[in-house]
Amino acid sequence: MMNRLFNSERLRAARQLIGLFAIATWCACGGGERARLRHDQFHHANVLLVTIDTLRADRLGAYGNRNGLTPALDGLAASGIRYAHAMSHAPMTLPAHTSILTGLSPRRTGVRNNTTFRLDDSIPTIATFLKRAGYRTGAFVGAFVLDSRFGLAKDFDVYDDHLPHAHRASFHFAERRGDAVVKAATDWILTAGRHESPPTNPSNPESRIPNPWFAWVHLFDPHAPYDAPPEFRAGRTPYDAEVAYTDAMVGRLVDALRGAAELDRTVVVVTADHGESLGDHGETTHGLFAYEPTLHVPLVIRGPSMRAGVVDAAVGHVDLVPTILDLVGVTVPSDQSLEGQSLANPIPPDRPLYFEALDAYLTRGWAPLKGIVQDRWKYIDLPEAELYDLSSDPGESHNLVARGDRAGQMQRALAALDSRGSSTTSAVALDSEAAARLRSLGYVGGTAGVRSVPTVADDPKRLVGLNEQFNTALTTFEEGRAQEALTGFSAVLAARPDFVTARTSAATVLINGGHAADAVRLLREAPDGQRQSPPILIKLGQALRDSGDLPGAAAALEQARQLDEANVSLLEDLAVVYAMQRRPDEARRIFNEIVKRNPSAATTWFNLGLFELQSGRPDAAASALRHAVDLEPSYGEAWQALGASLARRNPAGAIDAWRRAEPLLPHDYDLLFNLGMLTAQSANPQAAIPYLQRFIAEAPRDRYAADIARVQQELTKIEGRR
């Protein structure tokens, strides 16, 4: 009995050892045969690129997490190649995605943060290369920061950036949940698939898929504010709940492709644009630092019949375009120079990979942060420089910059890398709503009057507490506590008067609260070097306008225009002031210039429509407002204004527009009154009854007493005709 028990224990131990050996073999195959990609391995296969915003690598089971958050992503990793040390080149959404789609780092694209830049039209994206090769191309994005106006839409047959319209002042991005993004992408993919021939074998280079497709799907959900659907929240932190929800949406997309027999002829690439600090190194979110919680990203490549494995070499987002093109057999033109390399080629272990985090430099005047990763060492170039051995210190807790030999070598390598090539930059044309949508957790535009030689006092490490204080004030305003937010912004300005975005944000709170005169005083107290800068002048123009000083507002905005004439938000503010000053010809000229520059912005068309309506030109107003609702069908205010422009000449059209506006603006009782009363005069007055009844029941009696009496009379008249 003892002998049998002994043998049983030995057998169980042997099985455990075999299991451990199998795991070790799977995890240690960096560069080995099982993890190898091959040139033209999936000839003209479909390509699905999924980018997940703000996803930390350590939340995936495939990267060691044991909380079961990501079964769909783990399944892709188990049947594909997982890159253990993939990195973003910038911990911000727009510059990171620009690198993912172009194969160029921010130093080459010139897109350095989320608020100021637009990818130049001369720079091709992966959609450019694949479209030339006969691919159908579609993009489906989940947040306004990747709106088409930022330059990523060219050469996509479909660029679906339709987002809910913002109805109030906000410091957060407009976004849509992953289920809406996945549905739009799935509908497009499967519709495209119906026009193709039966599946072929993409692992055979001789087998070409007719009319292949390339789909880029961007899921924004893990980005703050964390607000996952209730069924994903139990027992999880708010961030982890968003990760679990996003993984479920990835699973839904993959299942749809599998069910339509598309998955077996599709190369799937999944990565994150950047991670999230969640308190590491004192940063709550991302964008300030470039430590591993925000720079290290998951990366999985999965193809039909691919051998699974793990690659340990350091790779970057710039490698994705050349890798995808290589795998599907599309050649990059000889006149195009990509910064990355195909991962089907051997990866030099000492290859330097560039990164940067320049938002605080560009918007606050803090020290610029740049660095490189090379041979598992990381160098961060700041007034207080940093050097980390990522192999032994993945948490970056021991700064080894005193090791002069290694630090000096990497500093020279960074300088050499940073000096190669040149960037092509374009100022982005933002309308006023666009600017408001981008003020999320420090993503506030404007030039800060940066210092020519940053000092230790400008090092972000010294200012992280101030950064958190600023972010807290933004969140406080979002939660409806305006006075508390103002106190927070004021404390930031007391510590750092040159924090221009804190000053303009505080002014926004004051203006929204009806204290425009106080905002004027605050803006005029800006340091001398900033007082004449465009962001201060633009906000000053808005504050003077709302305080009733129209000549002063026009003067401030005209001065700002001389410094920043490409800024559409500024032009829009100036046109509004001209209209208020009864200078219609000048206002109309600017409005027409704005829509010519930015024809895809619904708010721009809305403002033009309002201007024409107020100018007594209802036909011109209706034309502009139809553009607005075509671009944003959920734009309730635009539907309401369209109805007003049609009410006299086309009552049926007005009723239709107001019916569309009513569910979007359920508490707008002026709209409800107009809809009910105009419908009561139509050929079908019975249709007015529910609107009139609702108005009587819900409209505040202190404001609408006389209107309620009129509506009651009209309702009695209609009911008497029954």
Q: Which amino acid is at 345?
A: N
Residue 14 pLDDT > 50: no
Instruction: Choose the final residue of a domain: 369, 402, 425.
Output: 369
| One domain for residues 511 and 365 | no
Radius of gyration (C-alpha) of the chain in whole angstroms: 28
Identify the pLDDT of residue 172: 54
Higher pLDDT, 185 or 436: 185
Same domain membership, residue 236 and residue 349:
yes
Q: What is the mean pLDDT of residues 5-25?
A: 32
Cβ-contact 569, 504 below 8 angstroms: no
Q: Are 388 and 398 in contact (CB under 8 A)?
A: yes
The answer to whether residue 465 is domain-embedded is yes
pLDDT of residue 175: 80
Checking if the pLDDT of 19 tops 50, the result is no
Residue 203 lies in a domain: yes
Shared domain for 334 and 222, answered yes or no, is: yes
Q: Bridge-partner residues for 426, per DSSP? A: 118
Q: Please give the mean pLDDT across all residues of the chain.
A: 87
Say if 715 falls within a structural domain.
Answer: no
How far is residue 213 from each of residues 44, 183, 204, 618, 673, measured CA to CA in Å?
9, 16, 18, 44, 49
Is pLDDT at 163 greater than 80 in this prediction? Answer: no
**Distances from the Cα of 369 to the Cα of 200, 393, 396, 409, 581, angstroms:** 48, 21, 16, 18, 45
Which of the residue ranges 215-219, 330-334, 406-410, 438-442 would you say has the lowest mean pLDDT?
Answer: 438-442
Which of 351, 369, 387 terminates a domain? The answer is 369
| Closest to 554 in 3D by CA, of 581, 591, 517, 584 | 581
Q: How is 46-87 classified by DSSP, letter by letter?
A: EEEEEEETT--GGGSGGGT--S---HHHHHHHHTSEEEEEEE
How confident is the model over 685-716, as pLDDT tens digits? 999 999 999 999 999 999 999 999 999 999 99
C-alpha span between 711 and 644 (Å, rounded): 19
- Both 144 and 258 in one domain: the answer is yes
Pairing of strands 369-374, 377-381: antiparallel
For the chain, give the percent of residues with pLDDT over 70.
86
Q: What is the pLDDT of residue 686?
A: 94
Position 687 in a domain:
no
CATH number, domain containing residue 474: 1.25.40.10
* CB-CB contact of 679 with 685 (8 Å): yes
For residues 362 and 470, state if they share a domain. no
Residue 263 sits in the same domain as residue 119: yes
Tokens 């507490």: give the residue: 465
Residue 173 has a pLDDT of: 55
Is residue 21 in some structural domain? no
Judge if 328 and 210 occupy the same domain: yes
Residue that is last in its domain, among 549, 565, 600: 600
Asked if 149 and 119 touch (Cβ cutoff 8 Å), the reply is no
Looking at residue 148, its pLDDT comes to 84
Predicted pLDDT at 421: 61
* Predicted pLDDT of residue 430: 45
| Residue 390 near residue 378 (C-beta atoms within 8 A) | yes
Span 520-540, mean pLDDT?
93
- Residue 165: pLDDT band by 50, 70, 90 thresholds? low
Residue 464: is its pLDDT beyond 60?
A: yes
Is residue 343's pLDDT more than 50?
yes
Q: How many domains does the chain have?
A: 2
| Token pair for 468 | 């958190």
Average pLDDT over residues 378-382: 98
Please state, in angstroms and rounded to a whole number, the distance separating the CA atoms of residues 155 and 525. Answer: 47
Span 172-181, pLDDT tens digits: 556 899 999 9
Give the pLDDT band of residue 427 (cuts 50, 70, 90): very low
Average pLDDT over residues 434-461: 59
CB distance 325 to 127 below 8 Å: no
Give the burial class of 479: count Cβ atoms within 10 A of its Cβ; 0-12 exposed, 13-18 middle, 19 or more buried.
Answer: exposed
pLDDT tens digits for range 471-484? 999 999 988 999 99
Per-residue model confidence (pLDDT) at position 171: 54
pLDDT tops 50 at residue 341 = yes
Evaluate whether 379 touches 387 at the Cβ level (below 8 Å).
yes
Question: In terms of residue numbers, what domain contains 478?
Answer: 448-600
Report the alpha-carbon angle 214-141-299, nearest 5. Answer: 65
Is the residue at 121 inside a domain?
yes
Distance separating alpha carbons of residues 253 and 76, to the nearest angstrom: 12
The stretch 523-532 carries a mean pLDDT of: 92
| CATH, residue 158 | 3.40.720.10
Counting residues of the chain whose pLDDT is more than 90, the rounded percentage is 73
In angstroms, the Cα distances linking 270 to 47, 95, 96, 650 are 11, 17, 14, 51
Task: Tell me which residue has tokens 């203006």.
Answer: 511
pLDDT exceeds 60 at position 683: yes
Are 221 and 364 part of one and the same domain? yes
- Model confidence at 8: pLDDT above 80: no
On whether both 271 and 138 belong to a single domain, the answer is: yes
Asked if residue 106 is part of any domain, the answer here is yes
Q: Quick check: pTM over 0.95?
A: no
Residue 430 in any domain: the answer is no
End-to-end CA distance of the chain: 95
In 3D space, the residue among 312, 111, 324, 117 whose CA is nearest the CA of residue 215 turns out to be: 324
pLDDT tens-digit readout, 89-146: 999 999 999 999 999 999 999 999 986 788 998 999 999 999 999 999 999 999 989 9
